[in-house]
Amino acid sequence: MNVRLLKQGDEQEWHESFDLLWSIALSAAGRFLYIPPFSQQAREDVALQVMKEFVRLGINRCLDDDPESCGRWIWMRTSSRAIDFRRPRIVRRDGNQIELEDRVEMELEAHIEPVRISLEYLLDETIACLRLRRGRFSLLEEGILREILISGKLEREFAEEHGIPLGTVGRLVIQVKMKLRRFMRDEW
């Protein structure tokens, strides 16, 4: 997959990449929308929605020298969309608000396979995904996520070690938390 050609809108390249990207989107959707009432149609709807977004804007966030970034973008976007899709929703029926049953949620949770991967990989992958979203995720923010927010280093220690004012570190800690939430929720 040639990311540069995709960005240029090369139809041949898109044709050749479509099946792989579509399969990735369907596979991610299937992880969350596996059992009834979610059907193949629901999975395809979510996948199609994400593919449209990918064509319009996602491809521009991908890295020219990393073909895997296309699959990564589609995977995380579909996961986010699928979670949003199946989140218990309030539906209007005869003017009353009725909550979609939680039963589906519980069954889905039971279905999902436990993850067997290294913790380093989990964090690396999260950071790689954060870098693909709108707005930069800088090296300094990565340092703050790894060392202060995950590993528990004190803000003061981090500030002294890197020669950054304590106030700046404090502000960036809040910023990283907000970025993490916006990234994981459907707020792009």
Partner 1 sequence: MKFEMNFQDKAFLKLAAKVASSQATAEEQLDLEKLLHDHPRYEPEFLQLKQELRQDHKASLWLSALRVMLKTADPKEIKNIAALKQADPEQWREYQDAKEFTEALASREESVKTMKIQAMPDHVRKELLARLKASREHRNSLRADSR
Residue in the block written with tokens 């436990």: 114
What is the spatial distance between Cα 59 and Cα 16, in angstroms, rounded to a whole number?
15
Half-sphere exposure of 1 (CA within 13 A, CB side): 21
The yes or no reply on residue 18 touching partner 1 (CB under 8 A) is yes
What is the spatial distance between Cα 29 and Cα 51, in angstroms, rounded to a whole number?
12
Q: Which is nearer to partner 1, 42 or 123 (CB)?
A: 123
Q: Which is nearer to partner 1, 88 or 135 (CB)?
A: 88
The yes or no reply on residue 46 touching partner 1 (CB under 8 A) is no
The yes or no reply on residue 65 touching partner 1 (CB under 8 A) is no
Tell me the two tokens of residue 72: 């990564």
| Residue 47 and residue 68 in contact, taking contact as beta carbons nearer than 8 Å | no
- Tell me whether residue 134 is exposed, middle or buried, using C-beta atoms within 10 angstroms of its C-beta: 0 to 12, 13 to 18, 19 or more: exposed
Which 66-95 residues touch partner 1, going by CB under 8 A? 71-72, 75-76, 79-80, 83, 87-88
Contact residues for partner 1 (CB under 8 A)?
9, 11, 14-15, 18-24, 26-28, 31-32, 44, 48, 51-52, 55-56, 71-72, 75-76, 79-80, 83, 87-88, 109, 112-113, 115, 117, 119, 121-123, 125-126, 129, 149-152, 174, 177-178, 180-181, 184-185
